[in-house]
Every structure is written in structure tokens, then in C-alpha cells.
């Protein structure tokens, strides 16, 4: 008899079922079930070393009419210390109210609907087909079941009251046979325990369950022939035995005989959904960090036996990929072009529709002078010069040869990188005040005395991307800019992305609300029901001062990079001694937040942080603590306050009291593997020879979208690689495969941003 799995539905948190039960009061001697095929690496008849594992992911919304995603993984070598959970990237949607279950190793998936139907599907993804190929629909109402389990041939429906109905599937291999009830309303101490368990599953003739960290099991057997004249016979569970106690898990499942996998849930989005693997004969940890970030109801389509994979074969899904022999050995990018020290800064301001905004007065101030901003008088940002936009909207300014002392000190403290704000304002033809705000980073010649070899400031301008900025409505008031409540923050794009351990993309939206999510068709230029984006503007005529008032500060752990190590490799990520990242600035002048440039963080930290030689099958982001500030800013002219706006900005590297100098972030191993490698352009491919390493110590990283959330707003981060800031992979010495890597944004010898591992 094959192994079983369990149901996963909306009313049950993260669970997978597989069970069969005793008839109450029966005393006749049980008949043993056909023994499951033993799992052994030496057993040449067993080739099952990778087990289909399905995750019925949490609903994306509270809408009862919504959908949930069924996501297929493959658990590779579940008993091995090299266990991996391969993301096949195959998904399908089912109603959020449905219950899903599988088991038996035949690729049959069942859905129990609230409408009184049971639908069977065939998983044809291994041959390039659909995850849910419809097979048959049955008129069976199992919508109120606590657990639904199957080992292919038997289906067990357990009620919340501990009663059990047992059904027989006549064609378990195809999922289209007659389903007939063979036992009804059975209730024993075992079925009662199963109904009360945190999770229940079955493998071959053994039913297992988890309750408050206690793992128990019961051997299943057929009832003797003739009892009740049942054909096929009913089933029976023998007395329960304890396998282990103190199991830290919210749910568990058996990928095969003598193997167990568990998942734990925490309140930390970086660590929740942690998968661990064990053997059960005896109960021993095999791999305590298979993967994290896998959330939902998990079930395995385990078969009758389980073997160990060849350690020299790279994990794969479907057909084993042909060897990629024509791959160059990875070479580091050529030296980056350092920013040439210069006193000149420039940018472009446009109307909301992208047309040039000429004749605007641009005031350039030093962004990092903060003393006094936390007082009622606020702090003036030192003015370093003004410029007028040309007919095409461009402006250029030469900074003073000698900087004010406070500005020089701020620049020195930032490793020679001078962060600047460029602001302008105007009035549209319909009388709407508009604001232009840009952030820039310069490396003046005077800063070179503060630099050391490899300092981040030598690449500050390289990180500093384009400076074409559109004017935006300046209509915000104190009420619209009020700090969001905790409940409001939970509804924002930033919070939803932070809670998702596997975000779909890398990009942070240009516009965000700190109170909710913005509509897809959000238009910031609608003022009083009219779109003002194309209106001509009248410039502000007088020179003014920019004053800032610090509203709130908080230390947040911020993603600064990641490293990847798939099969037989080790990953390292170093972020030592200095800050070396450019972090987005957010600006609010109309009630919502717009990302507007970035601030270069190049100050000394005095600590060495990161992780070294993690793996195999390891890929995590890395975070460091940075203080963030929310400011109220005003342009104050001779006639009083001209403009008001708000900003969110990074401040400095700062370790919270009792906190870590850096910490491991989200699991990003879903970006690795042979399927992703095959989808990348061939020119991005490279290999790392056995026993060697490859690292990035030049150019800038990819931009990590929503690398941090502060006050309900998500900010992106870019890091420059150098001798103290690098991503590294070290290849092992297994014989029969090449260690393949590829760049995210380009070839690894050019501008990869970050590289992945196969």
C-alpha cells in the first residue's frame, strides 16, 4: 500500500492529512497490510529520491470568494544532510474555501469543494503539462471535514468530533475510479486524538500525528475478512506509540518511509516558514535549515519507498538537464570607473507630463546637516548655491570651493560623499502649488582628503542614478501627513511585501500610501477633480531657506545584499567596516509618498558583519541596522512659509540597544536552480571550477526593492561592491557536475548586480 497525505483547506491552518482508523470495539485479530517498500540507498528497485510537495498558500485577501495558490515544490533527498526543497515554479489557483489533499505517489490531487463535490486532478508538470489536469468530479460532500487523508487507495474523512468515514478509491493510479464508502462514523481513542491533533499524515501503513510538539504514530492494518461483510475490508489502527517529544513545528509531513519534514511558524517574516528534515528510525535531525519562507498548508505525494539521490548529481525537476559544457569560467568585472571628484552637480526638472519646466529657481542644500532639527526652531539646511533651469529643464551648479564647516564635517563623516537636496517650486496656471525635490550625491575635490582606498564615496556617483524629476502637487497638510496607525501600516504595500517571504519582484512602486495600498490607476496629478500634469507653471521668484523638523526616528534592519549557494557550494556575504549603500528617499507633498532619488551612506561602522561559507542549498539576504528619520520640511521666504512637504530619509548605521550588528534576512533560494539558469540569457552564464571560488568586489549591486519599510513606506537599496563589501561563492569538489552561476542583470564579468547559483 502506498503512503498518504492530508487535506489542506481554509479553515485549517497549514496542515496535511493521511490517516486510517480502528473500528470501535472490534476484538478480532487484525490482518497486516502489505508492507511498504523499504527505503534504502542500496535498493536498486527504488528510484524515488525526489518527492512532489504541494503548498496551498495563504489567501491573498480576506475575501471568502477569493483564490488560493497551489504551489508545487520537489523535496530532494529528504533523509539526506543535503536535503533541498526545489521550487518548480508551477502554480495553480483554487477557491479559498476548498480543501486540498494528495498522497500515494501517483500525482493525483483532490479538491473538496464547499458545493458538495470532490474533484480529482492529475499533476502533469513533470512532462511539461498542467499542474491541475482535470480527471473526474464526484458527488461527495466533505466540506465540513477536519482532515481528509489518502494513501491513494484509501481516503479517510475525519470530523471535528473524532468520527471517521473510510472510502476506497478503485483506481488510485489514475484518480478516476469509483469512490465507495467502506466504514461509517467510526470513533475510537485514536480517531479522537487525530481530530484534536495539530497535524496528521500517513506513510504506507503508518499513521502519524503531531500535538503540542509530541509526535505519535499508529500502525494501520486491515480488519479480518468477513467482519461486517465489508469488501474491501475496513481498516484498523493499533495502539499509539510516541516517536518524539519537543518537536518545534506547526505542521509536519512524511515525504517517504523513515523520513519526516516539519515547518515552524514565527512572527518574524525573515524566519517564518522554516522547513527541517528528520529521519524516523531513529528520530534524528537530517537538516535543520532546509529552507524558510514557505507558508501555507503543506502536503507530500509520497510513494511506497524512498531512496537517496546520487550525491554527484545536481538536483533537477522533470528530465535531468543535459550538461552545459560551453560555459566560460567566471571572471570578475573590470575595475569600476570611480567617480571623478568634481564640484559640479546637475539635474532636470519637468512638468508632470514629462515636458521641460524652464526658468525654475533651484536651491541646492546640504542634506546631512541635522543639528537642531529636533527642536521647535528646526534646522536650516545650508544653502550651497542656486541655479535656473534652462529651456529643456536642465540645471547645473558649481559647489563652493570651500564648504561651510558643518557641511565639510558631515561630508567627512560620510566617507567623503556629499549628499545634497535640490528643490524648486512653482504655481500652475490653475493656481495649484507644485514642488520639485531631488536628492544627489557629489564627490567634491575637497572630499578626497577624507577618503581611504576603496572608500564607498569613490563610487558614490556611480550609484547615484538619473536625476530627471517631475514637479508634483504641493497640497499636503498636517492631517494628511499624520503618522499611520499600526493597523493602517499593516494594509500598505510595504507591509504586505515585507510579510511575503518570497516577493514577486524587485521593484518598489514609485508612489505609495502609508495608510493603505494605492489603486493601480492612481494619478497624483488629480487636484480638485482636474489633471494638472500638463499645466504651465510660474516659477517662484525669490530666494528662500529650507528648514527641517525631525518628527520621528526608528532603527530598522535594512537589506544590503544577498549571496547564493545551490548544490555543493558555499555562500558568503561581507559587509565590513563601512556603510556602502545608496538608500531611497521618500517625499510627501500631496498626501502620498513618492520615491525621489537616494542618499549615499558611506560612514564608518567599525564592525565586520555578514555570513561566511553557508550551504549547500543556502541563499539569504543580509540586513544591517540603520536609523531612519521622518522630517517636516518648509521653504521659508521673506513673506513666510512658501512650501511644506515631508520626507523619509536614512540617517546612519546604528545598532539598537541589545541588538545585532547585522542579521540574516529572507530566504531567496527560489531564485536559484537549473530552471532559472535555463531561462537566463546564455551570455549571463558562467562556471566556477571545482575547489575554487568567485566573488564580486567591483561595481554596484542590483537594487533591492522594499529593502526596508519605515512608517508604512518601502524603500529600495543599492550597494557598491569593493574589498569590504562582496558576494562570494565557493565550489565543492564533487566530480560529475559543473558549478554554474549567472548574473541577474548581465554577464558576471560585466554588470551582474548579483549572481545566482545552479
Residue 230's pLDDT band, with cuts at 50, 70 and 90, is low
Mean pLDDT of 428-442: 94
CA–CA dist 110, 490 (Å, integer): 34
Lowest model confidence (mean pLDDT) among 460-474, 590-604, 704-718: 460-474
pLDDT at 395: 96
**Are 228 and 182 in contact, with CB atoms under 8 Å apart?**
no
Q: HEC states along 359-405?
A: CCEEEEEECCCCCCCCCCCCEECCEEEEEECCCCCEEEEECCCCCCH
- Domain boundaries 5-300, CATH class: mainly beta
E-state strands within 602-662: 604-614, 618-637, 640-653
**Are 716 and 493 in contact, with CB atoms under 8 Å apart?**
no
Mean pLDDT of 472-485: 92
pLDDT at 457: 43
pLDDT at 44: 54
CA–CA dist 500, 60 (Å, integer): 10
Give the number of C-alpha atoms closer than 13 A to the C-alpha of residue 496, restricted to the C-beta side.
19
Domain ranges of the chain: 5-300, 344-757
Mean pLDDT of the chain, nearest integer: 87
pLDDT at 20: 33
CA–CA dist 653, 140 (Å, integer): 60
SS3 26: coil
pLDDT at 501: 62
Mean pLDDT of 234-259: 92
Lowest model confidence (mean pLDDT) among 77-86, 458-467, 646-655: 458-467
447 pLDDT higher than 70: no
Mean pLDDT of 114-119: 96
pLDDT at 550: 96
Lowest model confidence (mean pLDDT) among 17-31, 189-203, 294-308: 17-31
User: What single DSSP character describes residue 683?
Assistant: G
Residue 221's pLDDT band, with cuts at 50, 70 and 90, is confident
pLDDT at 641: 87
pLDDT at 467: 85
697 pLDDT higher than 60: yes
**Are 209 and 192 in contact, with CB atoms under 8 Å apart?**
no
Of the two residues 416 and 736, the one the predictor is more confident about is 416
- Residue 36 is inside which H or E element, if any? none
Q: Is the dihedral of CA 476, 477, 480, 481 positive or negative?
A: positive
Instruction: Give the pLDDT confidence of 636-667 residue by residue, as tens digits.
Output: 887 788 899 999 999 999 999 999 999 999 99
Q: How far apart, in Å, are the Cα atoms of 423 and each of 221, 396, 666?
A: 78, 13, 37
Mean pLDDT of 372-397: 94
pTM (two decimals) = 0.88
pLDDT at 403: 93
Grid cell, residue 152, equals 491513494
pLDDT at 156: 92
Instruction: Give the pLDDT confidence of 609-622 residue by residue, as tens digits.
Output: 999 999 899 999 99
Q: How far apart, in Å, are the Cα atoms of 582 and each of 82, 493, 698, 720, 741?
A: 37, 21, 15, 8, 26
Of the two residues 232 and 734, the one the predictor is more confident about is 734
179 pLDDT higher than 80: yes
pLDDT at 336: 59
Of 540, 343, 358, the residue nearest 448 (C-alpha): 343
pLDDT at 23: 33
SS3 179: strand
458 pLDDT higher than 60: no
Burial class (CB in 10 A: 0-12, 13-18, 19+), 66: middle
454 pLDDT higher than 50: no
CA–CA dist 603, 577 (Å, integer): 9
Of the two residues 32 and 386, the one the predictor is more confident about is 386
Mean pLDDT of 138-143: 96
373 pLDDT higher than 50: yes
pLDDT at 81: 83
Neighbouring residues of 84: CB distance < 8 A, sequence distance ≥ 6: 75, 76, 77, 290, 291, 315, 567, 616, 617
pLDDT at 427: 95
Of 725, 705, 701, 249, the residue nearest 500 (C-alpha): 705
pLDDT at 231: 63
pLDDT at 574: 96
Lowest model confidence (mean pLDDT) among 26-35, 308-317, 322-331, 509-518: 26-35
Amino acid at each position: 500500500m502506498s503512503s498518504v497525505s492530508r487535506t489542506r483547506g481554509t479553515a485549517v491552518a497549514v496542515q496535511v492529512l493521511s490517516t486510517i482508523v480502528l473500528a470501535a470495539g472490534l476484538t478480532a485479530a487484525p490482518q497486516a497490510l502489505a508492507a511498504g517498500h523499504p527505503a534504502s540507498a542500496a535498493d536498486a528497485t527504488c528510484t524515488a529520491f525526489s518527492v512532489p510537495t504541494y503548498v496551498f498558500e495563504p489567501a491573498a485577501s480576506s475575501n471568502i470568494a477569493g483564490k488560493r495558490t497551489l504551489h508545487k515544490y520537489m523535496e530532494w533527498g529528504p533523509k539526506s544532510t543535503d536535503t533541498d526543497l526545489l521550487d518548480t515554479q508551477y502554480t495553480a489557483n483554487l477557491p479559498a474555501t476548498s480543501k486540498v489533499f494528495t498522497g500515494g505517489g501517483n500525482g493525483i490531487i483532490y479538491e473538496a469543494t464547499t458545493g458538495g463535490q470532490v474533484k480529482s486532478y492529475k499533476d502533469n508538470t513533470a512532462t511539461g503539462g498542467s499542474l491541475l489536469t482535470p480527471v473526474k468530479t464526484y458527488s461527495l460532500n466533505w466540506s465540513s471535514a477536519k482532515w481528509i487523508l489518502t494513501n491513494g487507495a484509501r481516503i479517510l474523512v475525519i470530523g471535528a468530533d473524532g468520527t471517521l468515514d473510510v472510502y476506497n478509491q478503485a483506481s488510485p493510479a489514475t484518480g478516476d475510479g469509483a469512490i465507495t464508502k467502506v466504514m461509517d462514523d467510526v470513533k475510537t481513542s485514536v480517531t479522537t486524538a487525530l481530530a484534536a491533533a495539530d497535524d496528521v499524515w500517513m506513510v504506507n501503513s503508518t499513521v502519524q500525528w503531531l500535538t503540542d510538539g509530541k509526535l505519535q504514530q499508529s500502525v494501520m492494518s486491515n480488519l479480518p475478512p468477513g467482519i461486517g461483510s465489508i469488501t474491501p475490508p475496513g481498516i484498523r489502527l493499533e495502539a499509539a506509540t510516541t516517536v518524539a517529544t519537543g518537536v518545534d513545528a506547526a505542521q509536519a509531513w512524511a515525504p517517504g518511509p523513515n523520513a519526516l519534514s516539519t515547518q515552524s511558524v514565527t512572527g518574524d517574516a525573515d524566519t517564518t516558514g522554516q522547513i527541517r528534515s528528520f529521519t524516523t528510525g531513529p528520530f534524528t535531525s537530517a537538516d535543520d535549515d532546509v529552507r524558510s519562507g514557505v507558508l501555507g498548508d503543506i502536503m507530500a505525494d509520497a510513494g511506497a519507498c524512498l531512496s537517496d539521490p546520487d550525491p554527484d548529481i545536481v538536483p533537477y525537476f522533470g528530465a535531468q538537464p543535459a550538461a552545459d559544457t560551453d560555459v566560460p569560467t567566471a571572471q570578475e568585472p573590470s575595475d569600476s570607473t570611480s567617480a571623478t571628484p568634481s564640484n559640479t552637480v546637475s539635474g532636470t526638472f519637468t512638468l508632470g507630463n514629462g515636458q521641460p519646466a524652464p526658468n525654475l529657481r533651484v536651491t541646492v542644500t546640504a542634506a546631512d546637516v541635522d543639528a537642531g532639527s529636533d527642536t521647535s526652531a528646526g534646522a536650516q539646511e545650508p544653502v550651497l548655491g542656486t541655479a535656473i533651469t534652462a529651456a529643456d529643464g536642465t540645471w547645473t551648479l558649481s559647489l563652493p570651493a570651500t564648504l561651510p564647516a558643518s557641511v565639510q564635517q558631515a561630508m567627512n563623516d560620510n566617507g567623503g560623499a556629499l549628499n545634497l537636496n535640490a528643490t524648486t517650486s512653482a504655481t500652475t496656471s490653475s493656481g495649484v502649488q507644485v514642488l520639485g525635490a531631488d536628492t544627489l550625491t557629489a564627490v567634491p575635490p575637497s572630499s578626497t582628503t577624507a577618503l581611504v582606498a576603496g572608500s564607498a564615496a569613490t563610487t558614490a556617483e556611480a550609484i547615484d542614478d538619473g536625476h530627471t524629476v517631475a514637479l508634483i502637487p504641493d497640497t499636503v497638510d498636517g492631517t494628511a501627513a499624520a503618522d499611520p496607525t499600526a493597523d493602517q501600516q499593516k494594509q500598505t504595500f510595504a507591509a504586505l511585501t515585507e510579510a511575503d517571504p518570497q516577493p514577486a519582484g524587485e521593484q518598489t512602486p514609485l508612489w505609495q500610501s502609508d495608510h493603505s495600498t494605492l489603486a493601480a490607476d492612481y494619478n497624483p496629478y488629480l487636484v480638485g477633480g482636474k489633471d494638472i500634469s500638463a499645466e504651465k507653471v510660474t516659477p517662484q521668484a525669490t530666494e528662500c531657506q529650507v528648514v527641517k523638523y525631525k518628527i520621528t526616528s526608528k532603527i530598522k534592519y535594512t537589506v544590503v545584499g544577498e549571496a547564493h549557494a545551490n548544490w555543493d557550494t558555499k555562500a558568503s556575504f561581507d559587509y565590513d567596516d563601512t556603510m556602502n549603500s545608496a538608500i531611497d528617499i521618500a517625499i510627501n507633498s500631496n498626501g502620498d509618498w513618492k520615491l525621489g532619488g537616494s542618499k549615499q551612506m558611506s560612514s564608518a561602522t567599525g564592525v565586520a558583519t555578514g555570513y561566511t561559507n553557508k550551504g549547500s542549498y543556502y541563499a539569504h539576504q543580509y540586513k544591517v541596522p540603520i536609523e531612519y528619520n521622518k522630517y517636516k520640511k518648509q521653504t521659508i521666504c521673506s513673506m513666510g512659509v512658501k512650501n511644506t512637504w515631508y520626507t523619509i530619509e536614512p540617517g546612519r548605521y546604528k545598532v539598537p540597544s541589545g541588538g545585532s550588528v547585522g542579521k540574516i534576512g529572507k530566504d531567496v533560494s527560489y531564485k536559484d536552480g537549473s530552471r532559472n539558469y535555463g531561462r537566463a540569457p546564455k551570455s549571463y552564464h558562467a562556471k566556477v571550477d571545482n575547489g575554487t571560488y568567485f566573488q564580486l568586489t567591483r561595481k554596484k549591486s542590483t537594487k533591492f526593492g522594499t529593502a526596508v519599510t519605515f512608517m508604512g513606506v518601502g524603500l529600495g537599496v543599492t550597494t557598491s561592491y569593493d574589498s569590504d563589501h562582496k558576494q562570494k561563492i565557493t565550489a565543492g569538489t564533487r566530480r560529475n557536475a559543473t558549478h554554474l552561476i549567472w548574473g541577474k542583470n548581465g554577464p558576471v564579468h560585466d554588470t551582474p548586480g548579483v549572481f545566482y547559483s545552479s
